Amino acid sequence: MQLSDILKTDAVKTITSSTSKKRLFHDLADLAQNCYGFNASDVVDALLDRENLGPTGVGHGIALPHARLKDATSVRGIFLRLEKPLDFDSVDRQPVDLVFALLAPDTAGVEHLKALALISRTMRDPAICAKLRANSDPATLHAILTEVQSTQAA
């Protein structure tokens, strides 16, 4: 599995400001609906339900919200770069500016975990995060995220 398999070019966006985690989930849901055809309200509910189990802010300004959806047929990703960092109840209490959301089918099992591990490995790389933070163009952000994997595979 590669990030290019789960992340469409148009599922990458820079957001100028989001006022709360819930508002951010609505932004993610709108993008999920536009890019993948998911029901936006189902996405928000699923992300909020997962977040209630524990915050998905993993530290260093990164959040990896994820959820399972009954209508999903494959694992899909959404990446948002926030120009204004947002409080996300992260483990290190630092605000978040890089958000990689993962939406998976209810039945995904191992596929969901593999995708989450791949995203986590990618987002733990300080050089990648620095490049993501230095760019705001969605096509460039997508290229940074997807080319990383192909160079790691080589």
DSSP character for 84? E
Cβ atoms of 32 and 38 within 8 Å: the answer is yes
Cβ atoms of 15 and 80 within 8 Å: the answer is yes
From 26, 60, 66, 112, active-site residue: 66
One-letter amino acid at 137 equals: D
One-letter amino acid at 75 equals: V
- Rounded to whole angstroms, the Cα distance separating 42 from 134 reads 33
Which strand (E) or helix (H) includes residue 69? strand 66-69
- Rg (alpha carbons) of the chain, rounded to whole number: 14
**Which two tokens mark 148?**
């990383």
Identify whether 112 is a catalytic site residue: no
Indicate which residues carry an active-site annotation: 66
